[in-house]
Amino acid sequence: MSEILRTHDLRAGYGLIEVLHGVNINVDAGEIVVVLGANGAGKTTMMRAISGMIPRTGVVDFLADDIAHLSAHKVTARGIAHVPQGRGTFPELTVEENLRIGAHSRRDSFAADIDYWYGVFPRLQERRLQRAGSLSGGEQQMLAIARALMSRPKLLLCDEPSLGLAPLVTRELFEVLQRLNAETGLSVLLVEQNANLALEIASRVYLLETGEIVSSGTPDEYMNNDAVRKSYLGH
């Protein structure tokens, strides 16, 4: 399988404090890779370092090009979409405007894409002229994912999409991710603290602890690992 993302010795932090101490991960085309980690392990920092939201050193190869020196808007134009923690929708814009701005990096016409996402998330169509700030948490997360995919990315970065959602809504969301992955071959890098559902859709798993990858393996290995189960699966 062809490799879509590879980081090598990725380091980043805030001010003088380094949070990521040289992270090496890779994502192959068509994979859903899940990174597990506790609060403060550096999951969000890793995502922000990949998408160029914070200064970083090391190598970030995306489709065999090093993008570690690019700023965020250029990374997006290359084909990485990042759904940040807390969803990051534009509360003052309408649902439809959120989707339109999602296609900002594209030059071609995207009207059909909007219809497509209304098909996937009919609730968004019902609320297309409402402000995004008035949506429920689950609807906002759907909007955030649809908006990210409006750019037709090759890789989707998803930062704790389950945060603040009811388990049923999270399940629905993960099913959509899985379906998109199966139907369109979209690669996904998913960061999660509550790992039960994430492991169900994962192709591969990394474990991040205090800014370093400490292990990797298949979802089955992690589900059957007692230490991991205690720390991340809650049973």
Partner 1 sequence: MSRFFQYLFDGLSSGAIYSLLALCLVVVYRGTGYLNFAQGEMSMFCTFLVWKLNDWGMPLWLAAICGMLIGYLGGATVETTLIRPVAKRSQFAVFVVAIGLFLGLNSLAGAIWGAPPQETMPSLFPNEPEDFQRIFGASWRYQSIGILVVGLVVTGLLFALFNKTRFGLAMRAVASNADSARLVGVNTGRVLAASWGLAAAIGALAGTMVAGTTGEVVPGLMFSYFVYASAAATLGGFDSLGGAVIAGLTIGVVENMAAGYAPKWIGQEMRLGVALLIILGVLLVRPTGLFGEQKVSRV
- As a three-state string, the secondary structure of 48-75 is HHHHCCCCEEEEEEECCEECCCCCHHHH
Nearest to 98 by CA among 125, 60, 66, 119: 125
* Closest by Cα among 193, 231, 149, 145 to 44: 193
The tokens describing 42, both together, are 């550096």
**Nearest residue to 175 via CA among 152, 158, 196, 198:** 198
As a whole number of Å, the CA-based R_g of the chain is 17
Query: Which is nearer to partner 1, 13 or 30 (by Cβ)?
Result: 13
> Nearest distance from residue 235's CB to partner 1, in Å?
28
CB of 136 to partner 1, least distance (A): 10
- Quick one: the chain helix, strand, coil %, rounded to 5? 40, 30, 30
- Kindly state the smallest distance separating residue 95's Cβ from partner 1, in Å: 13
Q: Which residue has the tokens 């995306």?
A: 62
Residue 6 vs 147, nearer CB to partner 1: 147
Q: Which is nearer to partner 1, 82 or 127 (CB)?
A: 82
Instruction: Closer to partner 1 by CB, 22 or 88: give it.
Output: 88
Q: Note the residues at the interface with partner 1 (CB under 8 A).
A: 51, 53, 71-73, 76-77, 81-82, 84, 88-93, 97, 100-102, 104-105, 131, 133-134, 137, 140, 147-148, 151
Torsions phi, psi of 190, nearest 5? -115, 130
In the complex, the smallest distance separating the C-beta of residue 104 from partner 1, rounded to whole angstroms, is: 5
Structural tokens at position 7: 């980081």
- 63 vs 223, beta carbon nearer partner 1: 63
CB of 166 to partner 1, least distance (A): 15
